Amino acid sequence: MHILFVGAHPDDETFASGTIAKYVEHGHKATIIHATRGGKGHWEIPTPELEVIRTEEMRQAAEILGADVRFLDYDDASVPGGDELREALVEVYRELKPDIVITFHPLVWRDDHRRVGMAASDASLKASLPLHETAFPAHRPEPEIFFFGTPMTKQEPDVYIDVSDYMKKKIESFKKHTSQWQDWGKPPEEQGDYMEKLIDWYAHRFREYGRRCGVGYAEARAQ
Ligand SMILES: [Zn+2]
């Protein structure tokens, strides 16, 4: 089975990284695709430099999970909506032939995330239509789409994946995104143990999902 995670920025995959690590360990293939390299998300580091840093952080984070990584190379904070992104993802689905796609719910916070979620959903059907001709043949049956639960998603999850045995890898992978974990608005010398606070918040979230389904830690999806 091939699992494809479709996100907008390096670190978006952290919401599903336990699932990715779990399936890879069970012999499945996983690919993480991000629409951008996250080049606008910092106060001080200029975009070209930030893109290089985040590409490398993402490579290391994915290596821990055992997943491949690709970027569509759109500009951060300017991911195109509509046909352009959907067609790019049609080609990705046809080339990689995923069985399952995990992506944002189309109604989440932040435009880049919404556009990715919407295009990733719409591309699923379109990639399966043989009469829609592109560089690759149609991918049938169409991949199944799951929307991951994030703090912004209002929709209640209805699928839980037990990731109790994968929390160590999940946090290890999360920590690779060093340039992301800043308390926006605070200078570096006042950041303190912000990373530790984030990890606590992060672990709490997945512990809460675990509580709902009777395991230690879980990730949640809606279908
Ligand atoms: Zn993001």
Predicted confidence at residue 133, as pLDDT, reads 96
Predicted confidence at residue 212, as pLDDT, reads 92
Cis peptide bond prior to 141, omega within 30° of 0: yes
What CA–CA distance (Å, rounded) separates 183 from 170? 21
What CA–CA distance (Å, rounded) separates 19 from 142? 21
How many angstroms separate the alpha carbon of residue 12 from the centre of ligand 1? Answer: 5
How many angstroms separate the alpha carbon of residue 110 from the centre of ligand 1? Answer: 8
The two three-digit tokens of residue 213, written as one number: 């389904």
Q: Are 116 and 74 in contact (CB under 8 A)?
A: no
Predicted confidence at residue 88, as pLDDT, reads 98
Q: Are 186 and 197 in contact (CB under 8 A)?
A: no
Give all strands (DSSP E) within 26-139, no chain letters. Answer: 29-36, 68-74, 100-103
Predicted confidence at residue 150, as pLDDT, reads 62
The ranges of the chain with pLDDT < 70 are 149-155, 184-185, 187-188
How many angstroms separate the alpha carbon of residue 150 from the centre of ligand 1? Answer: 11
Predicted confidence at residue 108, as pLDDT, reads 84
80-84 contact pairs (CB < 8 A, 24+): 80/115, 81/111, 81/115, 81/118, 81/119, 82/119
Predicted confidence at residue 151, as pLDDT, reads 54
Predicted confidence at residue 154, as pLDDT, reads 64
How many angstroms separate the alpha carbon of residue 168 from the centre of ligand 1? Answer: 22
pLDDT tens for each residue of 116-164: 999 999 999 999 999 999 999 999 999 999 998 665 556 678 899 999 9
How many angstroms separate the alpha carbon of residue 40 from the centre of ligand 1? Answer: 11
How many angstroms separate the alpha carbon of residue 114 from the centre of ligand 1? Answer: 10
How many angstroms separate the alpha carbon of residue 108 from the centre of ligand 1? Answer: 11
